[in-house]
Structure 1
Amino acid sequence: MLRMADADEYASLGLPMSVAGASLPPGRGFCDGTEAQVAILDADPTGAGQSEAVTRLAERLREHSAEPPPAVSVLGDRVDRAALRDTRLRAGSAVAAVGRSGISYRTAVVDLDDSPVFGVFGPDRSGRTTALTTLANGLRGSVPDLRTYLLAPRRTALVSVPDWTRTATGLDACAALATALADALAERTAAGPRRLVVVDDGDELTDGPAATALATLVRRGRDTGVVLLCAVQTHVAHRSFGGWVTDLRKAKHGLLLRPEVDVDGDLFGLRLPQKASRRFPVGRGYLVTRGDIDYVHVATD
């Protein structure tokens, strides 16, 4: 904390009011309660002077370096799923790559063995369907004998993805399939083949028989080997105060695409990082895993 304009600001940040009388020239302040002076690289303290000093230092270091410095990584606006590699991606596990992290620049994965309910939230054209497709294809490649079910109340590109066990399009068909899947839970155990249920445009299924059945899948799916991936519009999720969408939020496991950082963290009961340098093109957002937050870009095939 450098010199403050008002004495009360020291107290608000945890320092005693007495430090307000201290002489604090430019660059002098307090670090963890200890008075400290920021170092400079050159006698000229201006921004231009420091920039020139950094340039001279870089030139000297380059003369003594056998290899060039590593390039600064940049998170691209397209990530190919085929290029993602991670030791956590292994046959037989319900762990799928979702994209690349903009923090570690490693593969960002979703562990659906540990937490089999996952929500994808975002506004229109934010990449919700792409995220569902990437995760579903990843699970198909790792979980043997996986039974896959699609609920699509509206038109979606997921319908064209091959090898669904059953597909329901339209509100009535979605309600019927969701009810059949929920009824089947009473007869299943976790020892049987795993089932993946994917719901796109879940905001269309927040009432009626489909909503009741989806609530059962969210609450009881873990005990019967069901993995549930659901996409819901952000503004609908904010207005939900009960039902399966609220249960989906309570899992605190999901993806917030193109988020409004001031408010969308409320969906998971947390505060999103507010960094001006972070962009949110289509497919970019925050991956939340029980309070941990990663900045990721969703991969595509």
Structure 2
Amino acid sequence: MRRLPDRTRQAVPAGERLPRIVLFLDRWEGFAASLGDLDGGALQDAIFQLMREGASVGMHVIMSGDRTLLLGRISTLTENKMALQLSDPADVSLIGLNPRKVPARIPPGRAFRAQGGVETHVALLAEDPADQSQSAALQAIGASAKDRDSAVPRSRRPFRVDVLPGRIGYEEAWELRDTQEIRAMRHGGRLWSMAAVGGDQLTALGPDLADGTPAFVIAGPARSGRSTALLTMIRSLLSVGTQVIVAAPRPQSPLRRLQGAEGVVGFFTGDDLAREDLEAAVERLAGPGVTVMDDAELLRTCDAGEFLQSVLRGGTGRDLAIVIAGDAEDVCGGFSGWQVDLKKARRGLLLSPQNMSDADLIGARFQRGSTGQAVQPGRGLLHLGDGRLHTVQSADHGVTTAARAPWRACPADPAVADTPGYPRPWTAAGAEERPAAGAGGDRACGSRTRPRAVNRRGPCPLLRVLPPVRTTQAGTKKRRLSAVPSADRLASRVSRLALLSRCRFRLSAVGST
């Protein structure tokens, strides 16, 4: 690469020169088969463009593959080729070599270059040629490079493509924020709020409510994680000392647990928000603050609508922002009002979007395949007003089920760790106490006692045994049939029927004497 002419690079001072970028692509045949037709072949065309024009701007491509790399359009984009042992010795003719002049058996690592048929050998990273040793040596090189360039800003580091997790804890997500970028924001980043994690390199993403219209929308269908995402934003604001005003008109909202928490200067639970009460809460703010509303569609026509409009237009003289969450079909609806003005911020988080029209809530455009998917709690599309959509996952605050018990509680942020009323992770152990026998919790089952099953939908008896005694007439004889099974047979049946929760049925057996 040093031989490549790059007069533009030489004309720039050494401290301002951009680094060279090398794209390594392993197994071209797998890339072409899985991603070659994605978006009409856009990724494959991008590779071809980099191979044609990348060297002039300091970008280079190195790839490996089987004989398909020597065929078709890609084979004409470079003359710098090198062939190792191929399954068919005659395939070396694809790089311009005479198969008769190449040994039939080539040892591992031995290769022939297309320019002049020069024989070469690939160097090892470690003395041990085993795959595990070579992989460990490569990882050590990457770790040393990471430590060497730790002071380089994130924007200038090589990015990586991380897997977006299906579930991530708040503490783990909070550690992924870019502290240098946040501190450079207005007010030292006190109005930056973490909404979710996402991006090619997994990063905590969220809006800077001090920039532009001070508003942010979280929308989605039922049980998509709207309140959880809103709780994430509140918790990140409280962690840096930013005070909040909370409105939770619906009794099921988890934000109701924030009543009395440190940093919450106003708390409202009614389906109407009086202007005088909201103004009084704003007066208690000691610095920048955020008004947070869950189920905001219930407050669309509240009495404080004009005051909220003045907040959005910056007419209050305070550093105040508004964050709302609600159903995508109802929130920010209508033709006028403070929620219609809130959409002008053109940023927000859509969780499990179901309709193309939902994009208007956050000022973005969706691809058709982005909507109509099954509801996945916390998974959504984030738009921060810069025209880019990020697929993100909101943080989890420790909600657990009995299947994952016992829950290991995670420490909260120091700023709110000892705050009374702050939401804590639920503890599954001891959450559902089994009632004592004889107190309605057990049901007689023949000669044994079978406890009532407990699940998330309430108690449901697995088995109800009634001792049916019937008489039948066969010919002229009457026979009395006893359907009460023995204790051993009954225990065996109970063990099989225990798999059928949520069912109530009657067990009867008829036999002939």
TM-score by shorter chain over 0.5: yes
Q: Which residue of 2 aligns with 1:167?
A: 267
1:27-106 superposed matches below 5 A: 41-42=66-67, 63=131, 65=135, 66-67=137-138, 73-83=162-172, 84-85=174-175, 86-87=178-179, 88-90=181-183, 93-106=190-203
2:315 pairs with 1:244: no
The 3 A distance-change label for structure 1 pair 140 and 44 is closer
Supply the distance in 2 between the matched residues of 1:106 and 1:149 (Cα, whole angstroms).
27
Q: Which residue of 2 aligns with 1:121?
A: 219
Residue 295 of structure 1 is aligned with which of 380, 386, 391?
391
Shift of 1:118: 1.1
1:217-256 superposed matches below 5 A: 217-220=311-314, 223-237=317-331, 239-256=333-350
Where 1:220 maps in the other structure, the secondary structure is coil
2:173 pairs with 1:148: no
Supply the distance in 2 between the matched residues of 1:293 and 1:283 (Cα, whole angstroms).
16
Shift of 1:194: 2.0
Shift of 1:134: 0.8
Shift of 1:266: 2.5
Supply the distance in 1 between the matched residues of 2:204 and 2:281 (Cα, whole angstroms).
35
Where 1:237 maps in the other structure, the secondary structure is coil
The 3 A distance-change label for structure 1 pair 232 and 256 is same
Higher strand share: 1
The amino acid that maps onto 1:119 is V
Q: Which stretch has the larger CA shift, 230-239 or 283-292?
A: 230-239
The 3 A distance-change label for structure 1 pair 196 and 239 is closer
Q: Which residue of 1 aligns with 2:290?
A: 196
Shift of 1:72: 7.1
Greater relative CO (CA pairs within 8 A, separation 6+): 1
Shift of 1:43: 5.4
Shift of 1:218: 2.5
**What percentage of aligned pairs have identical amino acids?**
29
The 3 A distance-change label for structure 1 pair 276 and 255 is closer
2:386 pairs with 1:286: no
Contact preservation (8 Å) 2:215, 2:345 = yes
The alignment covers a number of residue pairs equal to: 249
Q: Which residue of 2 aligns with 1:20?
A: none
The 3 A distance-change label for structure 1 pair 99 and 92 is closer
Supply the distance in 2 between the matched residues of 1:75 and 1:221 (Cα, whole angstroms).
40
Contact preservation (8 Å) 2:379, 2:393 = yes
Contact preservation (8 Å) 1:117, 1:218 = yes
2:266 pairs with 1:266: no
Supply the distance in 1 between the matched residues of 2:327 and 2:344 (Cα, whole angstroms).
16
Supply the distance in 2 between the matched residues of 1:276 and 1:259 (Cα, whole angstroms).
7
The amino acid that maps onto 2:329 is H
The amino acid that maps onto 1:113 is A
Shift of 1:300: 2.8
Supply the distance in 1 between the matched residues of 2:384 and 2:216 (Cα, whole angstroms).
9
The 3 A distance-change label for structure 1 pair 166 and 232 is same
CA RMSD of aligned residues (A): 4.0
The amino acid that maps onto 1:148 is V
Contact preservation (8 Å) 1:287, 1:293 = yes
Where 2:291 maps in the other structure, the secondary structure is strand
Q: Which residue of 2 aligns with 1:110?
A: 207
Supply the distance in 2 between the matched residues of 1:147 and 1:221 (Cα, whole angstroms).
20
The amino acid that maps onto 1:80 is G
Supply the distance in 2 between the matched residues of 1:262 and 1:120 (Cα, whole angstroms).
16
2:251 pairs with 1:135: no
Where 2:329 maps in the other structure, the secondary structure is helix
Unaligned runs of 5+ in 1: 1-12, 14-26, 33-38, 46-55
TM-score by length of 1: 0.68
Shift of 1:279: 7.7
Contact preservation (8 Å) 2:237, 2:243 = no
Contact preservation (8 Å) 2:206, 2:384 = no
Supply the distance in 1 between the matched residues of 2:374 and 2:390 (Cα, whole angstroms).
14
